[in-house]
Structure formats: structure tokens, C-alpha cells
């Protein structure tokens, strides 16, 4: 239980730090947010509970393939905001696009033998 609480506090602290940095330095916050901190911490925690090289390899490779469909969201949202769409609608559109692309990645990936 304490381990789960520590992980939640760490994740919350990362989000809080990024939002605080973003108030003054948006580009710097974007760099920090783009770092694979969550992925690295997730791999460390996963390795701690299940030190299995093959499991970690599958996890790491799947993470790579799932990052790709999330990237267009970061192009769509600013385009929509700059064209006058309200923030919440732009965010929703970006999230919907990401879900659609995740589903497409799962469908296409399995055809190419990717373990997703």
C-alpha cells in the first residue's frame, strides 16, 4: 500500500512541477513534460516487482509504438486553438484523435507481428 502511495505522490509532484514551470517558462515545461520520466519510472517499478528481461523488452517496445499515435495530438491542439476553438474542445478533439490512432495502431500492429 505504501508503495502505491509513494508512486502516486511522485507522479503528482511531477505534474505539479511541470505546471509550475509552465507558468513562467512554457517551452521549458514542454521539454520536462516530453522527457520519458513516467516511462522510465514505470520500468523501474515494473522491474522491481517482476525482474524479467523479456517482459521489460515487451513493455519498452510497446511503449515506443504507443508513443507514436499520441504525437499528432500535440499538433492538432495548437492548430485548433490558433483557429479560435475553445481549449476544452481542442483538448477533447486531441484526445479523441489519440484514441482513434491507438486503436488503429493496435489493429495495424498486430498485422505486422508487433506485441502490443
94: burial class by Cβ within 10 Å (0-12, 13-18, 19+)?
buried
What pLDDT is attached to residue 22? 94
What pLDDT is attached to residue 6? 86
Contact call for residues 80 and 93 (beta carbons, < 8 A): yes
What pLDDT is attached to residue 115? 78
What pLDDT is attached to residue 98? 97
What pLDDT is attached to residue 47? 95
What pLDDT is attached to residue 113? 85
User: pLDDT tens digit string along 33-64?
Assistant: 888 988 998 899 999 999 999 999 999 999 99
**Residue ranges per domain, the chain?**
53-116
Contact call for residues 21 and 32 (beta carbons, < 8 A): yes
Task: Enumerate residue ranges in the chain where pLDDT < 70.
Answer: none
Contact call for residues 68 and 105 (beta carbons, < 8 A): yes
What pLDDT is attached to residue 112? 87
What pLDDT is attached to residue 7? 85
Amino acid at each position: 500500500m505504501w508503495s502505491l502511495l509513494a508512486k502516486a505522490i511522485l507522479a503528482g509532484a511531477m505534474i505539479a512541477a511541470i505546471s509550475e514551470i509552465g507558468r513562467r517558462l512554457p517551452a521549458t515545461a514542454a521539454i520536462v513534460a516530453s522527457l520519458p520520466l513516467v516511462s522510465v519510472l514505470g520500468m523501474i517499478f515494473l522491474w522491481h516487482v517482476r525482474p524479467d528481461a523479456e517482459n521489460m523488452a515487451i513493455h519498452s517496445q510497446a511503449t515506443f509504438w504507443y508513443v507514436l499515435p499520441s504525437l499528432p495530438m500535440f499538433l492538432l491542439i495548437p492548430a485548433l486553438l490558433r483557429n479560435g476553438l475553445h481549449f476544452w474542445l481542442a483538448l477533447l478533439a486531441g484526445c479523441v484523435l489519440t484514441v482513434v490512432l491507438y486503436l488503429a495502431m493496435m489493429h495495424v500492429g498486430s498485422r505486422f507481428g508487433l506485441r502490443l
